[in-house]
């Protein structure tokens, strides 16, 4: 089987595999490993580095036309991929139903790594967690750079400087990483989440948990958050408004898989915030947690800078690619048998992450999204 690694299109800076991953791919059973020319440019890996590691340099056309398994972080257009190939990517199928249909009708088998179930067994393949780790970390660094104040408390001969106050909305993987990074920089941190389980995790990192009574926690949602009642949303908005007014930085990470991100910061909340404050909205691509967020843009409202960026993992391309490649190797170890992809739908990792195969949609969550039960 020939594995083809595509170069990501600008502005993406990551690449699915680094030269250090090539040996493991050979051991998994790929006969040839092709990589698109200059694919490692943004992670400072030359074509020669990939060649020395055992890969062959090819054009994009050669890979799309002839590789059996094609990897890319963002999916290429379905009509460019050879029929019968398997694409392994991260395509948010619950939010991109048209693209799913187009891949199915073009006869492409697709695995989407963001659909690998969040089970203990699959932890080593979890690209969502890896990329959220990068994003949560970078969100704090970016906010610290933008904030016209220090993060830590300083006691100087020129007086005492109070520490920055940081509010984290959504304490999943990105939120927890943002908490620990902000704490390391010396900020006072508060966090908020609808999942009861998040409280302990937030407190164990030394942050204060902001609690709204009456959240809906759905055990069947696989550890994810679910939509909340209107009454809860009202109480939540009031409390967030109160805490936002005292915050210098807000990091928004709250998301619900397959749905728009919950709106947590209303426009009037921005009027109560101090000018110079910074909001980084990691949920921007699904609508954002702030009413004024614009995806991939920075806007200023009442002096508050709102940065909408759901792809901060791309701004730490070397280590994000290192984690992505390792996750992907662990995924291949699960689904490749005797040098071939084993479409064994008795295996729950294969079932849930396989989006299309033989012209049909496979993943139960995607089927459910297209034809709700
Ligand atoms: P996510 O990106 O889907 O959402 C981020 C956070 O936003 C979540 O903590 C969610 O509860 C929160 N949120 C959603 N709606 C909200 C609202 N209205 N107000 C406030 N917060 C809201 O989440 P994630 O980081 O991908 O993690 C989701 C879950 O998966 C967590 O329970 C996490 O612990 C779990 N997880 C499990 C594994 C594993 O076992 N392999 C790995 C990673 C994460």
Q: pLDDT: is 217 or 319 the higher one?
A: 319
Confirm whether 324 is a catalytic residue: no
> 78-94: per-residue pLDDT in tens?
999 999 999 999 999 99
Is the beta carbon of 169 within 6 A of some atom in ligand 1? yes
- Residue 321, pLDDT score: 98
Confirm whether 224 is a catalytic residue: yes
Distance CA 109, CA 357 (A): 4
pLDDT at 185 exceeding the cut of 90? yes
Confirm whether 114 is a catalytic residue: no
> 221-233: per-residue pLDDT in tens?
666 777 778 888 8
Is the beta carbon of 225 within 6 A of some atom in ligand 1? yes
Q: What is the DSSP string of 86-111?
A: EEEE---GGG-HHHHHHHHHTT-EEE
- Residue 357, pLDDT score: 97
Lowest mean pLDDT among 23-37, 236-250, 256-270, 359-373: 359-373
Confidence grade of residue 373 (pLDDT, cut at 50, 70, 90): low
pLDDT at 218 exceeding the cut of 70? no
Is the beta carbon of 126 within 6 A of some atom in ligand 1? yes
pTM of the model: 0.94
> 335-352: per-residue pLDDT in tens?
999 999 999 999 999 999
- Residue 224, pLDDT score: 72
Distance CA 189, CA 126 (A): 27
For helices 317-335 and 19-28, angle between their N-to-C axes, nearest 10 degrees: 0
pLDDT at 213 exceeding the cut of 90? no
pLDDT at 104 exceeding the cut of 80? yes
Confirm whether 50 is a catalytic residue: no
Is the beta carbon of 179 within 6 A of some atom in ligand 1? no
Lowest mean pLDDT among 27-31, 167-171, 255-259, 280-284: 255-259
Q: How far is CA 170 from CA 199, 261, 280, in A?
A: 11, 11, 13
Ligand 1 probe mutation, 254, 262, 282, most atoms within 8 A of CB? 254
Is the beta carbon of 349 within 6 A of some atom in ligand 1? no
Confidence grade of residue 277 (pLDDT, cut at 50, 70, 90): very high
- Residue 136, pLDDT score: 98
Distance CA 347, CA 363 (A): 12
Ligand 1 probe mutation, 121, 132, 170, 243, most atoms within 8 A of CB? 170
DSSP character for 345? T
Confidence grade of residue 237 (pLDDT, cut at 50, 70, 90): confident
Q: What is the DSSP string of 44-73?
A: T--HHHHHHHT-EEE-HHHHHHH-SEEE-S
């Amino acid at each position: 089987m020939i594995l083809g690694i595509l170069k990501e299109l600008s502005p993406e800076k990551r690449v699915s595999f680094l030269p250090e991953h090539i040996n493991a791919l050979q051991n998994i059973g790929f006969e040839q490993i092709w990589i698109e020319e200059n694919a490692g440019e943004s992670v400072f890996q030359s074509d020669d580095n990939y060649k020395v590691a055992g890969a062959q340099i090819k054009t994009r056309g050669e890979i799309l036309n002839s590789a059996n398994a094609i990897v890319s972080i963002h999916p290429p257009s379905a009509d460019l991929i050879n029929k019968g190939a398997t694409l392994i990517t991260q395509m948010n199928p619950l939010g991109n139903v048209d693209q799913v249909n187009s891949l199915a009708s073009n006869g492409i088998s697709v695995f989407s790594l963001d659909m690998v179930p969040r089970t203990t067994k699959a932890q080593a393949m979890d690209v969502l967690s890896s990329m959220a780790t990068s994003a949560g970390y970078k969100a704090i660094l970016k906010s610290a750079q933008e904030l016209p104040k220090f993060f830590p408390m300083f006691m100087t001969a020129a007086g005492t400087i109070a520490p920055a106050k940081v509010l984290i909305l959504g304490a999943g993987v990105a939120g927890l990483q943002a908490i620990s990074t902000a704490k390391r920089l010396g900020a006072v941190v508060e966090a908020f989440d609808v999942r009861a389980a998040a409280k302990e995790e937030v407190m164990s990192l030394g942050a204060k948990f902001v609690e709204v009574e009456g959240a809906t926690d759905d055990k069947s949602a696989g550890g994810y958050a679910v939509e909340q009642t209107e009454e809860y949303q009202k109480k939540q908005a009031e409390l967030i408004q109160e805490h936002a007014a005292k915050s210098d930085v807000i990091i928004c990470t709250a998301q619900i898989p397959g749905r728009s991100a919950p709106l947590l910061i209303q426009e009037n909340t921005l009027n109560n915030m101090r000018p110079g404050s910074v909001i980084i909205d990691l949920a921007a691509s699904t609508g954002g947690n702030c009413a004024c967020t614009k995806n991939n843009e920075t806007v200023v409202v009442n002096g508050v800078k709102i940065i909408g960026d759901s792809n901060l993992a791309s701004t730490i391309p070397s280590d994000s690619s290192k984690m992505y490649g390792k996750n992907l190797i662990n995924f291949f170890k699960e689904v490749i048998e005797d040098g071939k992809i084993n479409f064994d739908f008795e295996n729950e990792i294969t079932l849930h992450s396989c989006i299309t195969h033989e012209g049909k949609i496979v993943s139960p969550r995607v089927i459910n999204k297209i034809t709700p039960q």
